[in-house]
Structure 1
Amino acid sequence: MDAHVKRRTSEEVVAERHGKGPQQTTMENRMRSEEERDKLRSYFARWAYESGVPFNALRLRGFEELVEAIGQYGPGFKPPSFHDYRVPLLKSEKEKIDEIKKKHTISWKKGCTLMFDGWTDKKGRHLINFLVNSTEGTFFLGPVDASSQIQDAKMLFEFLDNKIEEIGEENVVQVVTDNASNYVAAGRHTRFLEAMRVHTRGADLVRAGATKFASSFLTLQSLLKHKDNLRKLFLFDHWDNSKLSHTKAGKQIVEIILSTPFWNGVQDCLRASLPLIQVLRIVDGDERPALPEVYIAMEEESDESIVNSLMHKANDAFNDILTRMVPDTTLQDKISAQSAAYTGSNGSCKGDVVWWEKHRSSTPELTKLARRLLGLCCSSSGCEHNWSIFEFIHTKKMNRLEHQRLNDLVYIQYNLRLQIRFQEKGNNPEILIHWCLMI
């Protein structure tokens, strides 16, 4: 092979494999027999089964890159030692994450969101995750062990104050949290549940959505879908012979299920809540800034009265935000004047393109504030995506590690997962902001 031909990195090869374009097959792969490939796969499987590697680990892009890198290295590769894996390699990977943090730090200066969420592990320790979201994506700052602290508003304020100082007080536009997930509990009546599944062909009525707010909507949808079968359930001998049928609660259930007004109410609720669910799905995420997408969704709303009402509330909120974020009254007046000119324009996102092209250079103060606002996320769901990482790392074996090394492991794995999640989404948050502002 020509020495001047640059070999593609394992990351490039795997990225091409996951892309939509045609994939190249190397000469070496063509020359390998199926028997050789099966033998190699068997070695991987044996190691994974012996060490207890979770099946999902084989889906990670990093695993594919590892395999490709080993193949490119060729025969004779000596794997890292226990010490290498535990000390120098861990240090090296942490330094790489720190380099990624530098890119995020630059983006934080445009405005960012501090997100946090609490979690109690199996040993009763209360941990608080702190993350920062910006147009660069979401970055995990690290956990704080609050087990020994008195968990009150003063404690939380001290933690937040420290993190805001670390990020830069002038950079943090908002703080978002959601601790409701820690207090959710549910109970089920097993025997009655099994009887219900007979009539719903194995389906559960209570459906867990990808997001918490979607669960109630999906449950109502499921109720309506199984309406006829649910009614049949209460007309069979199995129900009459159950103890629950003779209780006050059981009689109330029958009355509700057989009630026509109840089902009409379910239909009305689904029709009324669908637009709200669509908006909530937009804002419950951190991969893309939510406000530009909400603005675009408003453009598609056919009811002009709803749009006007939302715009009026948005203007009121903007005035409140302006006084909070811009303490200089002279600067406030400039932004207000520029905002008034903007409000008097076309008033639509597509029509705004012309306005921003024409006036962006003459409205630098409004432009800067708009970018800070449009780049925000509206949810702390990014905190909730990776609790399994803590469950995995905080095992009995891992807990023998020194505290700092354990934190480094969490720091590396959490941020690698976040980076992969944003890469797989394939979204560039800046595109939405530029599209709305044309800056």
Structure 2
Amino acid sequence: MIVAAGIIILLLLLVFGMPVAFALGVAGMVGLWLKGGLDMVLGILRATPLSTTSSYELITVPMFMLMAEFIIVSRIAEELFDSAKVWLGRTPAGLAIATALAGAGFGAISGSSTAAAATLSGTSIPAMIRHNYNPRLASGVVAISGTLAMLIPPSIAIVLYGLIAQLSISKLLIAGIIPGLLVTLVIALTVLVLAAINPSHAPAVSSYSLREKVASLRIVGPMVALIMLVTGCIYLGIATPTEAASLGAFGAMVIAAMRRRLTWNSFCNALFSASRTTCMIVLIIICAQVFGYYFTLTGFTQELVSYVGNLDVSRWFIFLLIVLLYLVLGCFLDQVAILFLTVPVVLPVVTALGFDPIWFGIIIIITAEVGLVTPPVGLNVYVVSAYSKIPVKDIFIGVTPHVIAHMLVILLLAMFPALVMWLPSTIVQ
């Protein structure tokens, strides 16, 4: 009864528009009060903020956010599309494929999906529209390509999952590389199929000389250096994720300065933006921990694990239900909120069924990608619409083939877990 009361209060607060952090905190406090009275509530409120935010690994979040802000200042991500366009423009759907590659490149140097979607909207959509691309196809590939920043390291979502699940963040970040490349390939193949069905929707554009192609690679050099500085250091065991994130933020700042884009105002704006986002995430973490204490003290998680373990059904059927749950939640809630709401409850069930938590983490990050482009919330879709002025309805239609393709990727990773687990198994400790 107490568990039901807390969940109902949480859902009602979310429905009436209360911010996720406060909804979690209020529901958790009410549940704790029903369970143990005011003294229990006050005791947990006194201890939770410090115990939750004193984690050393949490420093990774503001450093990756700052890295993303400096990358935006440098505008190198905008030029990634131009470089990819030079190499792929002559092929059918070349500009759309270049957008997917630019999205992957942006994801490899920034963990912000909304920033990726905004950047690609301002560069690739105008180029595709000028070359007579179908607006739905163009906006759809931009919206889905922006989500790659959630999966390809450095990824804020993966770091948060690691903090909640108390897993190796190094292994989780490295585990996202092959699935990230696979998703990029699937996006490219999807636009090729769409172009084959209707060639007029994604025509080839002008070709470039070899000299122009080689010259375009100068944009790629700083990006590769930054990737090696962050992901390479983590993989080789040279630096922890926290240290690598700090190096990445410094490296991104140096790149912005070398490109003469770093001014005092842009520097302060980057610090302010990274701090504001970090404060939002930390507040969600603290309030989710309060809600988590409420679940723990009621014994709900243990009872759920026991109940699921006694069900006479295949563990894959339960896994399918969990994936469907995440897809439904992604239609209504922010991805950070979904992680903090569900992982403490779902992960014990998943591990009790014999699934690897690192593999499961990558699966739910991909389902969270889908949530960024599915109605009615679909944050990336609204970002693309705001920058491109293309109607939201058209973007949702344009992204639908990519959502179907993502479902196939999830199926593939479920059938072949080694695609996720092999690379982290080779990491240098």
Do Structure 1 and Structure 2 share a fold, with TM-score over 0.5? no
Alignment TM-score, normalising by the size of structure 1 = 0.26
Query: Radius of gyration: which is bigger?
Result: 1
Q: Which has the higher helix share?
A: 2
Alignment TM-score, normalising by the size of structure 2 = 0.26
Q: Which has the higher strand share?
A: 1
